[in-house]
Amino acid sequence: MRPMIQIKNVSKSFPSKAGKVDALQNISIDMEQGDIFGIIGMSGAGKSTLVRCINFLERPTEGTVLIDGKDLQTISNKELRKTRQEIAMIFQHFNLLMQRTVIDNICFPLEIAGVRKKKARERAKELLKIVGLEHKENAYPAQLSGGQKQRVAIARAIANNPKILLCDEATSALDPETTNAILNLLKDINKRFGITIVVITHEMKVIQKICNKVAILSGGTLAETGLVKDIFTEPKTEEAKRLVYQGTETTAYMRGKHFVRIVFNEQSSFEPVISNMILSFQTPINIMGADTHNIGGKAIGEMILQLPEEKEIADKMIAYLINRKLAVEEVDIHV
């Protein structure tokens, strides 16, 4: 199957007084139809630049982007405009038209696309139902909460049935509960309409909650990419490890030696392994923290253990855990 979004060797640099800024360096990523693809990285990593390259709001300095097989670098301007209509976008600060009511905000892109007023209103009402805002039809954006504003923005974004929805920090201005509700809505839209969604965020928990795949950007380069469940279980690069551990509340304790992080999934029953290990070694260990994450509908747990000081026993325990098919990694993080 050809990818819905193919980012091919994309580099982007901006001229600046102090010389040029390399915002993106040789990035290649494939996203399939129906993916909820996360792009994560610290501030300045190049996330927004990359997402703007996906619809050619930003033209890559090198490389190209193919949307559903169409090379944005070589198609005509007319075709580029048409392709852009298939790519919708939502933002951190919603970007609603403040002088227009909710329903008129949603009708706006429909009117631009030439839909008759009556038809547009019918469609807008349908969209309001999808995002759960039927009762706010005639409200103005200023009368809405952040979560409600983002719902309007989502309704407006999907009004013309786009193939792709780009979300640039769409939940970064929202509290955790509202974030969850918006992420659930995005997931629902992805399922119901098969829209490919690209989620830009600096928060691993957003990725864990809805994305099936992820790309980690660091200083304009692609540090690591793959399935969320693989990267969460076994982060390979320093950048990935940092992000995965960011979700661990025990990070602050992880100083010193003999800390291990173990990851288990539904299949490996985990408590018996730990208690059997303590029994067979006759040595206590410290459980520093445990957490379960729902990754793509699957419960994946992680636990941070502090093993005994004696290296010999600690090493044997690590071997014991690996033998029980748990992903084990020694961690030594200084915060």
Interacting residue ranges for ligand ADP, rule: CB under 6 A? 14, 16, 21, 23, 41, 43-49
Report the 10 Å Cβ neighbour count for 180: 17
Residue among 50 and 321 whose Cβ is closer to ligand ADP = 50
Three-class SS of residue 305? strand
Instruction: Give the nearest distance from C-beta 58 to ligand ADP in angstroms.
Output: 8
46 contacts which partner out of ligand ADP, Mg ion, none, CB within 5 to 8 A by kind? ligand ADP
When CB distances are held under 5 to 8 angstroms depending on the partner's kind, the choice from ligand ADP, Mg ion, none that residue 109 binds is none
Residue 48 in the binding site for Mg ion (CB under 5 A): yes
Q: What is the DSSP string of 219-256?
A: TTEEEEEEEHHHHHHS--SHHHHHHHHHT-GGGGG--S
* Identity of the residue, 210 or 215, whose beta carbon is nearer to ligand ADP in the bound complex: 215
Q: How far is the CB of 11 from ligand ADP (least distance, A)?
A: 12
For residue 114, give the 3-state DSSP assignment.
Answer: coil
Q: Please state the closest distance from residue 41 (CB atom) to ligand ADP, in A.
A: 5
Question: Taking the complex as a whole, how short is the minimal distance between the CB of residue 134 and ligand ADP, in angstroms?
Answer: 34
Q: Which does 45 bind (CB under 5 to 8 A by kind): Mg ion, ligand ADP, none?
A: ligand ADP
Q: How far is CA 89 from the centre of its chain?
A: 14
Q: Are 1 and 33 in contact (CB under 8 A)?
A: yes
Nearest alpha-carbon partner for 241 in 254, 313, 308: 254
| Nearest CB to ligand ADP, comparing residues 168 and 302 | 168
Is 171 a binding residue for Mg ion by CB under 5 A? The answer is no
Q: Using a CB cutoff of 8 Å and minimum separation of 24, what contacts does 76-82 make?
A: 80/56
Nearer to ligand ADP, 14 or 323 (CB): 14
Helix (H) or strand (E) holding 91: strand 87-91
**Count of CB atoms situated within 10 Å of the CB of 296:** 16
Instruction: For the CB of residue 197, give the shortest distance to Mg ion in the complex, in Å.
Output: 17
| Region binding Mg ion by CB under 5 A among candidate stretches 3-11, 46-54, 231-239, 306-314 | 46-54
CA distance 36 to 165: 9
Q: Which residues bind Mg ion (CB under 5 A)?
A: 47-48
